[in-house]
Structure formats: C-alpha cells, structure tokens
C-alpha cells in the first residue's frame, strides 16, 4: 500500500490567505488531508487555467463547464468560498448559454484564482505531501476493481473493508458523497446499487 509521510501540521500561515479554514477542515476531514488538498489545488493551477482559456478560445463551452464545475467544488473544498462562487456563476452561465457573461466574467475569476495561488506558495515548502491515510490513484483503481468483485460476490465484510480503504483517495466533494451513498447501500445489502455508484465515480480516479 502507498502511504505518504506525515506532514508538518502548522496551518497558521493560512490565516493570511483569506481561506475559510474551518470549512476547509470540515470538508477534507483533518489538517493533513486539508494541506494535501491545498497542495493538489496549487499544483493543478496551470493545467486548469490553460483548460479554461483554451476551451473559451475555441468556444468549447462543454469543456469549459466541466472545468469550472470541478474548480467550483475544489475551491469550496479548501475553503476558497468566494472563488468557488465565481466558478459556480461561470458554470451556471455556460450551462444556460449565456456566453456574454462567460466572456465578461472569466478573466476576473482567473485573476482571483491567480491571486489565491500566489498566497498558497508556502505549501511548496512541504514538498510532496500526502495525508497519512491517503492512497494513490493506482491503489484506488485497484481497490475499486476489488470492491466491484466483492460486491458481485455479495461479500459484505470485504466490501465494507474496501469501501473504507477507497475513502483514502482524495475525491472531490461530489464523489465523496457518492462514496458515502455506496457505503450506505452496502449496509443495507443493496450490492447492485452500490456497484453502480462505484462505477460512476471510477472515472474520477486520475
């Protein structure tokens, strides 16, 4: 199994970033996971920004919507509530075909995004950080495959063990809720329903 090292859990420097730290801790489930989520958020900045600008430039509003939807969730996960709201409004505008609002409001949202990323630069001093119970994408995919087999075999104990292990993957908020839904199905012996939920979130393991 892949395990990361325990990181320095000092988060006092986050007070200067404008993040809602309490919300971030509540969403992620603890200091280590919170810092790990912030590290991933910062590391994915250039990729996400390029995807937004490229899809906007090519008028690919479907790809634009997918990207800002993910950023909405990930921003809220780390407590960047204002930025999450900005991306949510862009998502709504794109879904409604309001291209004028999309064109007008994308740059201010990205400027705010850039500003937050700059404030998060101290996270780089932690190096490659992972919460102690966090699993990699490779392990998560293997676990999901084993879980689907266990569900197919109606193996209650193993299914519960594997869904718990899978919860160590840093899913976005929506996928975390789906995983909780699958766990509830397993508790009620609804294995087919649980399997369908696991299949839905499988593609989000990257």
CATH number at residue 39: 1.20.120
Q: Based on the structure, what is the number of domains in the chain?
A: 2
Of 103, 126, 149, the position where a domain reaches its end is 126
Radius of gyration of the chain measured on its C-alpha atoms:
18
Q: What is the pLDDT of residue 128?
A: 53
Domain end point (choices 105, 126, 147): 126
Query: Is it the case that residue 88 has pLDDT exceeding 60?
Result: yes
CB burial of residue 201 (10 Å; 0-12, 13-18, 19+): buried
Would the pTM of this model clear 0.75, i.e. be above it?
no
- Averaged pLDDT score across all residues of the chain: 87
1 is a domain residue? no
Half-sphere exposure of residue 180: CA atoms within 13 angstroms, side-chain side: 7
pLDDT value at 2 more than 70: no
Helix residue ranges, H only, the chain: 21-28, 31-43, 45-57, 61-77, 81-95, 99-119, 137-152, 156-166, 173-187, 191-202
Q: How many CB atoms lie within 10 A of CB 156?
A: 14
CA distance 175 to 163: 13
Q: 115 with 146, same domain? A: no
Tell me the per-residue pLDDT of 95-144, one tens digit each, with 9 for 90 and over. Answer: 999 999 999 999 999 999 999 999 998 887 765 555 556 788 899 899 99
pLDDT at res. 131: 54
Q: What are 46-69's pLDDT values in tens digits?
A: 999 999 999 999 999 999 999 999
pLDDT of residue 189: 87
- The sign of the dihedral angle between the CA atoms of 12, 13, 19, 25 is negative
Contact 86, 109 (CB under 8 A): yes
pLDDT band at 84 (very low <50, low <70, confident <90, very high): very high
């Amino acid at each position: 199994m892949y395990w990361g090292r325990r990181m320095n859990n000092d988060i006092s420097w986050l007070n200067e970033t404008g993040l809602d730290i309490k919300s971030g801790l509540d969403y992620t489930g603890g200091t280590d996971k919170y810092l790990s989520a912030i590290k991933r958020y910062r590391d994915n900045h250039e990729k996400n920004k390029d995807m937004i600008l490229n899809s906007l430039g090519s008028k690919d509003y479907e790809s634009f919507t997918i990207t800002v939807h993910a950023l909405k969730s990930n921003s809220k996960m780390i407590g960047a509530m204002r930025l999450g709201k900005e991306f949510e409004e862009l998502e709504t505008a794109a879904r409604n075909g309001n291209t004028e609002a999309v064109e007008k409001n994308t740059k201010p949202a990205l400027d705010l995004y850039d500003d937050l990323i700059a404030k998060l630069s101290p996270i780089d001093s932690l190096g490659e950080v992972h919460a102690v119970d966090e699993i990699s994408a490779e392990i998560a995919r293997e676990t999901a495959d084993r879980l689907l087999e266990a569900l197919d075999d109606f193996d209650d104990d193993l299914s519960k063990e594997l869904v718990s292990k899978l919860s160590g993957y840093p899913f976005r908020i929506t996928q975390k809720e789906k995983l909780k839904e699958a766990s509830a199905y397993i508790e009620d012996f609804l294995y087919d329903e649980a399997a369908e939920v696991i299949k839905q979130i499988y593609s989000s393991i990257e």
